[in-house]
A and B are shown apart, each in its own frame.
Chain A
Amino acid sequence: MAAITHTIFTPATAARFDKLATIYPLKRSALVPMLLYAQDEIGFVSDAVVTELAQRLDLLELDVRNVLSYYSMLRTKPAGKYNVQVCTNISCMLRGGFELLQHCKDELHIDHKGVTPDGLFSLEEVECIGACCWAPAVQVNYDFHEDLTPAKMDAVLETYRSREQK
Chain B
Amino acid sequence: MPTLVSHPDEVKVLSRRFGQGAANIDKYIELDGYKAVQNAIAQGPDKMSSWIIDIMKASGLRGRGGAGFPTGMKWSFVPKVSEKPKYILVNGDESEPGTCKDHVIFREDPHSVIEGAIIAGLAVGSKMGFIYLRGEYRYLLNIMEKAVADAYAKGFLGKNIFGNEGIDFDIITQTGAGAYEVGEESALMESLEGKRGVPRIRPPFPAVVGLYGGPTVINNAETIANAPHILLMGGEAYAKLGTERNGGTRLFGISGHVERPGVYELPMGYSLRKAIYDVAGGIKDGKQLKAVVPGGSSCPVLRADEIDVGLDFDQMAKAGTMLGSGGIVVLDETVSIVEFALRTIRFYQHESCGWCIPCREGTDWIKKTLTRFHAGGGTKKDIDNIQYLAENMMGRTFCPLGDAAAMPTLGFIKKFRPEFEAYLAGDRVANPLIQIQPVGELVEAAH
Where the two chains meet, the residues of A that have a C-beta atom closer than 8 Å to any C-beta of B are 23-26, 28-33, 35-36, 57, 59, 66-67, 70-74, 88-91, 93-95, 98-99, 101-102, 127-135, 139, 142-144, 146-147
Contacts and interface: CB of A to CB of B under 8 A. Distances in A.
A143 B354 CA distance: 30
A39 B125 CA distance: 37
Of the listed residues B1, B178, B179, B254, the one surrounded by the most CB atoms of chain A closer than 10 A to its CB is B178
B194 A133 contact: no
A66 B256 contact: no
B335 interface: yes
Interface stretch (B135-143, B384-392, B396-404): B135-143
Nearest to A128: B97
13 contacts: A31-B194, A67-B194, A67-B196, A70-B197, A90-B343, A90-B344, A90-B347, A91-B97, A91-B329, A94-B255, A130-B94, A130-B99, A133-B254
Contacts of A98: 431, 433-434
Contact of B261 (A67, A70, A93, A135): A135
Contacts of A143: 139
Contact of B97 (A71, A102, A132): A132
Interface in B266-297: 293, 297
Nearest to B104: A133
Contact of A131 (B103, B135, B197, B330): B103
* Residue of A33, A93, A133, A139 ringed by the most chain B CB atoms within 10 A: A133
B192 A29 contact: yes
Interface in B83-110: 85, 94-100, 102-103
Contact of B212 (A25, A74, A127): A25
A139 B177 contact: no
Contact of A146 (B2, B85, B97, B193): B2
Interface in B413-447: 431, 433-434
A134 B351 contact: no
Interface of B: 1-3, 85, 94-100, 102-103, 128, 134-139, 172, 174-180, 191-197, 212, 253-257, 261-263, 293, 297, 327, 329-331, 335, 340, 343-344, 347, 350-351, 353, 431, 433-434
Contacts of B253: 132-133
Given A30-B194, A133-B263, A142-B138, A74 B100 contact: no
B368 to A, nearest CB: 18
A91 B256 contact: yes
Given A91-B255, A94-B257, A26 B98 contact: no
Contacts of B179: 70-72
Given A71-B179, A101-B433, A90 B191 contact: no
Q: Which of B2, B96, B347 has most chain A Cβ within 10 Å?
A: B2
Given A67-B196, A70-B196, A26 B178 contact: no
Nearest to A99: B433
A33 to B, nearest CB: 5
Contacts of A88: 343, 434
B422 to A, nearest CB: 21
A57 B1 contact: no
List the 5 closest pairs (A to B, CB-CB), nearest first. A73-B178, A28-B194, A31-B194, A71-B177, A72-B178
Nearest to A134: B2
A26 B212 contact: yes
A132 B212 contact: no
B434 A90 contact: no
B94 A33 contact: no
Given A71-B178, A89-B343, A94-B335, A133 B135 contact: no
B177 A73 contact: yes
Contacts of A66: 196
Given A66-B196, A91-B256, A129 B136 contact: yes
B256 A94 contact: yes
Contacts of B175: 32-33, 36
A144 B343 CA distance: 22
Nearest to B253: A133
A90 B194 contact: no
B337 to A, nearest CB: 12
Contacts of A90: 97-98, 256, 293, 297, 329, 340, 343-344, 347
B350 A127 contact: yes
B101 to A, nearest CB: 9
Contacts of A25: 85, 128, 212
A32 B433 contact: no
Contacts of B255: 91, 94, 132-133, 135
Nearest to A24: B172
Contacts of B95: 127-128, 130
Contacts of A128: 95-99, 180, 297, 347
B115 to A, nearest CB: 21
Contacts of A73: 135-136, 177-178
Given A74-B177, A133-B254, 20 more contacts: A26-B194, A28-B195, A35-B177, A67-B194, A70-B197, A71-B176, A71-B179, A90-B98, A90-B297, A90-B347, A91-B256, A93-B343, A94-B329, A95-B256, A127-B95, A128-B99, A130-B94, A130-B137, A132-B100, A133-B255
